[in-house]
Structures are given as structure tokens and as C-alpha cells.
Amino acid sequence: MFTRTQTAREGRDRQMYEQGARVIAGCVPVDKQGRRILLVASSKNEGEWVLPKGGWENDETQEEAATRETWEEAGVQGRIVSHLGEYKHKVNKRTGVPEDIYIFFEMEVESIAREWPEMKKRERQWFSFEDAKAIVSKKVMRKALEQCSLARG
């Protein structure tokens, strides 16, 4: 079970891998009433907005990892309502092996904290579904957005 803390997990010593690819779990945080998606500023690329996500660790389920990462990066909690799919990222053309495998879930946001573990590292911002889909640069994130409930009208 996910336990909310004020410190983010760090390091990759407990990371899960499948056939050499790092498994990354994340959420599409949704405000169904306002038809909005919550995005966070990338910690690696200034000016880039992304879905909250991070490494799945060996002491948690994929849903727990996605919930933990969404708390750490965006400071929100909610209910996982659906599995949005598994997406291979940066597939090596020679070997056909992906570097990363992303697993996304839809989360209906229930609470937004004023303080969260990565608040000094990241901004968070609500975007309309259409704007979120247009602004995320990673194809795997656009695919996850296309599977969420807001994509179906």
C-alpha cells in the first residue's frame, strides 16, 4: 500500500526491469469536472511538461508505483480508475529492445497538497485535455492521454 511521505525515493537499486528495459509507472491525473489534465514540469528539460511518472520498484505494485510517483512529482492523491496501457520507448533499431517501458494509469484526482516532496524541483499546472495532448513532447505520453476517459468526450 502506498504511504504518503514528504521525501521522494531516489536511486535505482530497487528498479524493475523487463528484458533489459527499465519499467516506468505513471498516471494521467484527471479532473473530470473541469475536463483537465495535471502536468508537471520536467526535471531534466526546462520548459517541457510531462505526466508524473518514475521507476517501478520491487517492493510495490505497478499501481502503487504510479500513485507514489504522482504524489512525489505532482502532490496529488486520487483513485486509479483504469489501466491505460504499456508503451515501449526508445526502441533500439538494431536489437528491437526498448530502453524503457512506460505503464500508465488514469487517476481521478481527489486532493491536491500545498506541499509535496518535489515542490522545489517542479511546477504543476492544469491543462485542458486538448492543450495537454498538444504540449507533451513524448509520444508514449500522448498515447496514454489518447486512452484516458477525457479522450472519449
Span 33-43, average pLDDT: 93
| Buried/exposed 15-49: b ≥16 CB within 10 Å, e otherwise | ebeeeebbbbbbbbbbbeeeebbbbbbbeeeeeeb
Please, where are the H alpha helices in the chain? 62-74, 129-135, 139-147
Please say whether the beta carbons of 99 and 90 come within 8 A: yes
pTM: 0.86
Cell numbers found for residue 1: 500500500
Q: What is the pLDDT of residues 99-142, one digit of tens each?
A: 889 999 999 999 999 999 999 999 999 999 999 999 998 999 99
Residue 143: closest CA among 84, 92, 67, 99: 84
Question: Which domains are seen in the chain, by residue range?
Answer: 17-152 (3.90.79.10)
Q: What is the pLDDT of residues 12-32, one digit of tens each?
A: 677 888 878 889 999 999 998
Say which amino acid occupies 49. Answer: W
* Residue whose grid cell is 502503487: 64
pLDDT at 17: 84
